[in-house]
Chain A
Amino acid sequence: MSEATQRIPRIAFGGLHIPTEPPPGSRICESLGMRAGEAWTWKEEQSPQWEARQEEAFRSLIANVAEFFVEQHTLAQLANRINGLEDLHRSDFGLLHERVKALEEQSQQRSIATCINSLELKGAKVAIPIPVAIHASGDEYIATFFDANISSGGDTPQEAFHNLCDILVAKITLLASLTPEQLGREPARQLAVIREFVAME
């Protein structure tokens, strides 16, 4: 025990040894509405009201301490609840984010079914509309004539469709320019499929 602590006079209260003077620099007196050095003088301890005032001060101190702990407990409970809500929100937002992403991907992957009704090819006429499926691939689109396994891409569904028409014309021109002996298994099949849809002179 330090010398300063030893010098503080102490009194017995309910079996407890309470310092009659707060340690230097403490704010106990201020919290109790007392002026340090004046309210707790040895003289007052000797006064007739000393015991009553001491008890009152002690009760006030106990009440303040109790209030402090109640406040702390309430604050801790509130902090716990806020943490819980934050966790809940975080997980909810995570789930929502995943669902939105999945829906976006689903909407992107949706295919568009359309058909080619005309081709810019001299001597050729579309006899039966050519079925075309357009689907998203990343941030682009791929248009495919599945029967003939002919595809093309574009930045938009329209561009992919027009590019497919363009490549179809080029392929018809190429395939029609070759003799049957020059056509492999797949190109021969492609030409046969195309002839079912396109009437050529």
Chain B
Amino acid sequence: MARIITKELAVKIAQKLNATVTKSGAHDLAAVFHDGVLVASFGIRRGSEKDKGHDYIPGEIFVGPGFAKQLGQCPKSHQDWVEAMQEKGIIPKPKKEDGPSTEPAEPDATP
């Protein structure tokens, strides 16, 4: 099986998700926050090899390998990931603001 997520892509994913990266031992720990709440975190192996495997990252950011790859490359955006997390219930969906109803009023059934 070929490597799907390389170190280079892992770094790009962390950047795309605006992750806070802290150094820890042999890893950098990328912590992804949304509205001040930690949603996901994953380790990025240190080392100069750009093609080091990081195929475990998709599972840690709750997406499939294809989505993660697209996130690191370009087609998927941070917003796409947030929406995917909201669909999965990992990030709470934003509450709809109360406002004037746009739905037409039901006609009165009684004459």
Contact = CB atoms under 8 A, between A and B. Distances in A.
Interface stretch (A35-43, A48-56, A79-87, A171-179): A171-179
Interface of A: 137-138, 140, 142, 144, 149-154, 162-163, 166-167, 169-171, 173-175, 178, 181-187
A171 B91 contact: no
B8 interface: no
B53 A182 contact: no
A181 B1 CA distance: 40
B83 interface: no
B24 A187 contact: no
A84 B3 CA distance: 42
A184 B82 CA distance: 13
A170 B22 CA distance: 9
30 contacts: A138-B1, A138-B3, A140-B55, A142-B55, A144-B56, A151-B56, A151-B59, A152-B27, A152-B43, A152-B45, A153-B55, A162-B26, A163-B26, A163-B43, A166-B27, A169-B25, A170-B22, A170-B25, A170-B43, A171-B29, A173-B24, A174-B41, A178-B38, A181-B37, A184-B34, A185-B90, A186-B39, A186-B62, A187-B38, A187-B40
Nearest to B36: A182
Nearest to A190: B41
Contacts of A174: 22, 29, 31, 38, 41
Given A151-B60, A153-B56, A187-B39, 17 more contacts: A138-B53, A144-B59, A150-B60, A152-B45, A153-B55, A163-B26, A163-B45, A166-B25, A170-B25, A170-B43, A174-B22, A175-B38, A178-B38, A182-B38, A183-B37, A184-B34, A184-B91
Contacts of A185: 89-90
Number of contact residues on B: which range applies?
Answer: 20 to 34
A140 B53 CA distance: 7
Contact of A138 (B2, B25, B36): B2
A183 to B, nearest CB: 6
Q: Name the residue in A170, A173, A174, A182 with the highest tally of chain B Cβ atoms < 10 Å from its Cβ.
A: A170
Contacts of A169: 24-25
Contacts of A183: 37-38
Contacts of B90: 184-186
B12 interface: no
Given A163-B27, A185-B90, A171 B56 contact: no
Q: Name the residue in A140, A178, A181, A182 with the highest tally of chain B Cβ atoms < 10 Å from its Cβ.
A: A140
A75 to B, nearest CB: 50
Interface in B29-75: 29, 31, 34, 36-41, 43, 45, 52-56, 59-60, 62
A185 B62 CA distance: 12
Nearest to A191: B38
Contact of B24 (A140, A142, A149, A170): A170
